[in-house]
Amino acid sequence: MDLSGKVDGDGWTVTACARASGTEFSCLIGTSVAVADGVVVREFTHDRTFSTPQEAVLDGLKQGMSWVDLTSSNTVCAA
């Protein structure tokens, strides 16, 4: 079963999509953050696998929101 989630804020969006990978689930994470020079879009796969799609999506959203925070605070380069 595939499961996805989305969280929106003021100028940012995070998506997470769990995908079956054998008996475990991986998670594709997408972020979009409005910055002074435009919009920074990033898509990456979570570095862990999970036993349920719910765990994958929830942790994926958490990781994506951490990335948004790092991008918004200029801790990481937006380019």
In 3D, which of 60, 44, 66, 43 has the Cα closest to residue 5?
60
Q: What is the pLDDT of residues 13-36, one digit of tens each?
A: 999 999 998 899 999 999 999 988
Question: Who has greater pLDDT, 20 or 72?
Answer: 20
Domains, the chain, with CATH or none: 3-72 (2.20.130)
